[in-house]
A and B are shown apart, each in its own frame.
Chain A
Amino acid sequence: MSSKARRKKGYGVWVKTILIWGFAVLYLFPLVWTFSLSLKTQVDALSYPPKFISILTLSNYVKVWSESDFLKYCLNSLIIALSATVIGLTLATPAAYVLSRKRYKPKGSKYILFGVLSTRVVPQITFMIPFFILFRKLRLIDTHISVIIMHLTIILGFGIWMMKSYFQEIPFELEESALIDGCNYFTAFRRIILPLGAPGIATTAIFSFNYSWNEFLYSLILTGKNTKTVPLGVYNWVGYEEINWGGLTATAILALVPILIFYGFVQRGLVRGLTMGAVKG
């Protein structure tokens, strides 16, 4: 695989290694701190100087498990995030592909693309009131569908733009030879673009799922008792008087697990896509 000749440049590698680990530590610290708070009692969490070594306790996790509906929040978030991602990408991938190819895209595609982009420039807050009123009329408050629709407003436009730019990097020759071999346009898209574009699609899927899983504002106004999502579960620990740091951080840490699992799945797809591409290319 790697035919790249290794050159001698001893210290360059060291500088790079130190740099990247330095960045990694900076990036990791707030997360490590979150994790450490989830293992501390409220008193230890708020002590100064900060306690780096304290009596570790799992009581916060037990509390999240027993005192809140964490599993239910997770299930709600999962339903919403998976639906929004799947619907969003199913609609966005074909559109992105057509817009990425000179041969297929319609006249004035420039304006279509800009129109797609302009749906993103509107501040979130402006979406809240009209949709709240509309969903109340349609009796869709406290349903998954309303939140999924809100998330699609973001995911669709983002997906079309992201994937279009990834698809552009795939040379047209590959599809052309498939077409000459007798594939029709749809099969060429399925057999060539989907596997070759897998890294881009996977990246877009990760961002979409992640956005939907973590989105707070829309969920706050549109969900109710039955459809509360994970970020609201985190927010539950914030009281008027004080913040329950243990509960908040433990919920947040637990909320990472499903995303990491999703990421793992998509990542596997990503690698498979890359190797399939390598075989074809």
Chain B
Amino acid sequence: MRGGLQEREIRRFRWAMLAPGLIVLFAINAVPIIDTLLTSFNDFYLPRPQQEKFIGLANYVNLFKDARFLSALGRTFKFVALVVSTEIVLGLSIAILLTSDIKASKALRSVFLLPIILTPITTAFMWRIMFSPTLGVFNYFLSLVGIEPQQWIYSVDQALPSVAMVITWCKTPFMIMVFYTGLLSIPDDVIDAAMIDGASRWQQMIHIKLPLIRPVFFVAILFQLIDTFKEFDLTFILTRGGPGSTTEWLSVYTYLNSFGFLKMGYGSASAIIMSVLITIIAALVVKFGGVNLEQ
């Protein structure tokens, strides 16, 4: 009897807590997603909306025949891998340094938060002027040590790593904050116990702290992967996908089709493919990264 009563109480508690958030979340997301999905099956050229017609999977088939789409796809993977791996290494190193016993780490913590509070649009314009081949401060610093001026975002070879550098600068603070908070919230007694057992600091980090923050760690990576895959605004202000199409990620490609060439159906199909790809990647991280959804 008591068990059944408790079960009912738990159920009431569960849904009272869960329902409001989930209902709002799915309600506001369903509209655009369904709309995009429907548009992706249509031939829809924005200047002639009355001629919109259903063409089934033709947009998708055409996309996979489109060399520009396929190279954007490959380029996106390269870019995401570069950015996220750098962010993990930097983010984790800085978070560990911040929680270690060096002085002034409190003040430093705020320094690493600053890049994310700067409006991204400012960030993009600032890096653009710093990258400037003729009057940029980076080339000036290089000239001081005798290196000739570089073309940065204006060069076919350097554009991708240059943009990756900006995104990394901009987004690593997120990783630092998450790891840092994760490391801080480990209860002291766990560490004390390890110290009594004679574990060195390095051993504590590898065998105790890192496994403990594993859930937070993978959630941070998951979100970084998703966001980098979708990266658009900074790239668009920095390079508009150029020079040529050397920084044209899938998001830029999608934007160009929808708002540049006004082929809304084609653009929607590209957006859907992008979403499906990111979902697959997210599912893989969840599965193999040990983000335990059951826990």
Contact = CB atoms under 8 A, between A and B. Distances in A.
A123 B254 CA distance: 9
B69 interface: no
Nearest to B23: A91
A139 B169 CA distance: 39
A13 B189 CA distance: 24
Contacts of A112: 18, 22
Nearest to A117: B282
Given A4-B195, A125-B271, A243-B125, A94 B17 contact: yes
Interface residues of A, number: 102
Contact of A235 (B113, B121, B177): B121
A94 B18 contact: yes
B22 A116 contact: yes
Which of A3, A30, A37: most chain B Cβ within 10 A?
A30
A123 B177 CA distance: 25
Contacts of B102: 13, 16-17, 20
Which of B117, B186, B278, B294: most chain A Cβ within 10 A?
B117
Contacts of B173: 27
B181 A161 contact: no
B135 A214 contact: no
Interface in A105-134: 105-106, 109-110, 112-127, 129-131, 134
Interface string B268-279: 100100110011
A27 B108 CA distance: 11
Contacts, number: 271
Given A16-B100, A161-B219, A165-B215, A49 B140 contact: yes
A129 B264 contact: yes
Contacts of A245: 129
B10 A104 contact: yes
A95 B219 contact: no
A95 B293 contact: no
B237 to A, nearest CB: 9
B177 to A, nearest CB: 6
Contact of A31 (B15, B115, B120): B115
B271 A27 contact: no
A249 interface: yes
Contact of A46 (B16, B93, B122, B135): B135
20 contacts: A23-B93, A23-B97, A30-B123, A30-B130, A31-B115, A34-B118, A91-B20, A91-B24, A95-B22, A104-B13, A113-B293, A119-B25, A122-B36, A126-B36, A130-B35, A153-B25, A156-B28, A160-B25, A169-B212, A217-B233
